[in-house]
Structure 1
């Protein structure tokens, strides 16, 4: 390549120009869910431009935050619509007005569904990898579901074996230091959540909550420069708290390794709550669950419904519904199932 560049003057000039613009933004785009919130006109803080329907910031996410503005990601999930439709259908057909916020998150039958891996149609737990993980973890409480949600991430695979073995008493539960016992005991001595990193930094090295959050961000972004500074600060704080350099380095190394797979516990908790709501309907009101799911995509859930004991009923041209319906374990596929009919 170097020989090719040096072969002609215009190639050399083109290469020099390319080097100067390397790393600059190539194009503009719009974040799928990012919203900037301010108590004043945004033009007091940042430049805007016209979008197709709404104004857009000319700063990226980092520039927006550096300006002191609040950036939120509002993700739209169709699973929320599924839960709402199940509530409405349950009220309409059985007169039961179920409030999802009152669902018992320790419901044993629902937890047994998770442990069985019968989670087709359950948010976060439909894929084969998640199903295998559930069968290994065997959740017996809601916290187990939250932990499984966090473990079901690409970077966490190295710790799944340890977590499962410790949960089932096949491996001794060890904690980095006795002072961290209450922080790491709920996850069997394994650092699983980002919040645990912050708690460890506070407890072990005397970090403030704000400084611990900076450490969490540096780890999440794998910022080598920031991590180097944080390591020195962590060790110094640990020494002042009465710990040895060796122990401080050991704890920091574990925290640093955690950066490759750590998940936000509050995020996992919310995801697990939605998954539990769907699983609750599938466990206690399967006809309601499958009717809603079949109408969302019957090709994906019909086989699962048949395996659950439902049967496809024959129809009369005079009574065929438009939407799929379930009554007395019988599935009545609607006209919408016919390609080209709308």
Structure 2
């Protein structure tokens, strides 16, 4: 099958090349003698193609699975069972991987191709290119938190992907606390591009993974502990419920981005966008018994400029159950 596809593509390219050569002759850029010479050369390549089509060595599926960034970084004791339970799936363009509001059945690892996201509840007016490419993991956050999928994911090209069921992902969380922290961090890659496309959409997936790996830190916060978000950081509330206390009270539900900006602290979640007025320095108090997990990222983009004197350090007071987790980039 791969040989047939390769022959078809090469044949099409050579035929287009013949048409291109003829057009050059028509507009006077090539003399007739030169055009005939190039035409004969292309015809020779076509005959050679039909006699002996090129062979294409397709990578082994096991190699593609192992090469995916999410699985590649897991310890062997965790990675190998997941690889055995991974399903290889080829999707044509326009096929829905999952729909917004549906129960998370698993995660999708994109090996090759482009997937486009859309949402009725999340404001994506700032998103110019709402797509995920090779190396992405989709649906991981929803599987970890146990909530419905946040958006529709539809293939925008032919996509080679791998599917891992939710139960397989949840089973490895108990194997090692470091693995759980790693998966939460990885879930923030897709989440950040959906909640803050104007910031993170310009970064490649490779840059996003580097940002997570090199400039992040997951921490566990106890009840009542105050967390300061530095002006050069962005926080992501991944789990738990928090409530602002100050000039304006607002219940913030996950997922939400906590963004220090000039004189304000903005909270952008899947459904709301709130700003605390300048000088308000709000306290944010967790109001559920869930773990409040906050992810911080150092700002690395040039189009957001931080002036230390014009920023205050907002505080988060986590007063939920026993403990909460946060992550610093």
Q: Which has the higher strand share?
A: 2
Q: Scaled by the length of structure 1, what TM-score is found? A: 0.24
Bigger Rg, which one: 1
Q: Which has the higher helix share?
A: 1
